[in-house]
Amino acid sequence: MSSTMEGCSLSDFVEIKVIGRGSFGQVHAMRYLPTGEVVAVKRASKRKCLIRRSHLKALSAEMQVLTNNTSPYLLQLKTSFQTDDDLFFVLPYMHGGDLVGHFDSLDKRVGKVPEPWIRFYAAELSIALSDLHKMKIVYRDIKPENILIDGEGHIKLCDFGLSHALQAKDGFMTRGRAGTGRYMAPEVASGHDWYDCSSDMYGLGVVIVWMFEGHSDVSKYRAKTVAKKYTEASRAARNLIDGLLQPDPEIRFGWDVIFTHPFFRVNWDALRLRKVSAPIGPDLVTWHQNPHLVKLKSDDAQLPDLGVPDNLVSPDIQAKQRLQMQSNVKIECRDTPLTPQQQAMFANFGPTFAPQKSHNVQQIEGIPASLDAHTRILNVNDVANAHKIVNDVASSFSTTLSLAA
Instruction: Verify that 22 and 39 share a domain, yes or no.
Output: yes
Query: 277 in a domain, yes or no?
Result: no
Name the active-site residue from 84, 141, 150, 200: 141
- Shared-domain flag, residues 267 and 333: no
Give how many domains the chain has, as a whole number.
Answer: 2
pLDDT in tens, 320-357: 555 554 444 443 445 578 888 788 778 778 787 654 33
Whether pLDDT at 383 is above 70: no
* Position 162 in a domain: yes
Which has the higher per-residue pLDDT, 374 or 336?
336
The answer on 73 and 18 residing in a single domain is yes
- Looking at the structure, do residues 116 and 260 belong to the same domain, yes or no? yes
97 dihedral zone (left: phi>0; alpha: psi -120 to 50; beta)? left
Helix, strand, or coil here: 53?
Answer: helix
Final residue in a domain of this structure, among 214, 238, 272: 272
Q: What is the mean pLDDT of the chain?
A: 77
On whether both 304 and 252 belong to a single domain, the answer is no
Is the pTM higher than 0.85? The answer reads: no
- Residues 314 and 233 placed together within one structural domain of the fold: no
145 and 254 share a domain?
yes
287 within some domain: no
Q: Does 141 participate in catalysis according to the annotation?
A: yes
- Classify residue 242 by burial, with Cβ atoms within 10 Å: 0-12, 13-18, 19+: middle
Q: Give the domain CATH number at 19.
A: 3.30.200.20
Task: Of 23-27, 122-126, 213-217, give the lowest mean pLDDT range.
Answer: 23-27
Asked if residue 56 is part of any domain, the answer here is yes
Domain closes at, from 243, 272, 301: 272
Give start and end residues of each alpha helix (H) in 214-347: 218-226, 235-244, 255-258, 268-272, 315-328, 340-344
Query: Residue 32 pLDDT > 80, yes or no?
Result: yes
**CA max distance for the chain:** 72
Mean pLDDT of 274-281: 91
Give the pLDDT confidence score for residue 62 in this predicted structure. 87
Same domain, 237 and 168: yes
Residue 281: inside a domain, yes or no? no
Same domain, 112 and 224: yes
Confidence label for 359 from pLDDT (cuts 50, 70 and 90): very low
Would you state the pLDDT for residue 299?
33
386 near 56, Cβ under 8 Å? yes
The residue ranking higher by pLDDT, 127 or 296, is 127
Range of the domain at 236: 99-272
Answer whether 188's CB lies under 8 Å from 140's CB: yes
The answer, yes or no, to whether residue 309 has pLDDT greater than 60, is: no
37 plus 86 within the same structural domain: yes
CATH assignment of the domain containing 243: 1.10.510.10
The least confident of 17-21, 38-42, 202-206 is 17-21
Whether the pLDDT of residue 381 is over 70: the answer is no
Q: What is the pLDDT of residues 93-120, one digit of tens each?
A: 998 999 999 999 898 888 889 999 999 9
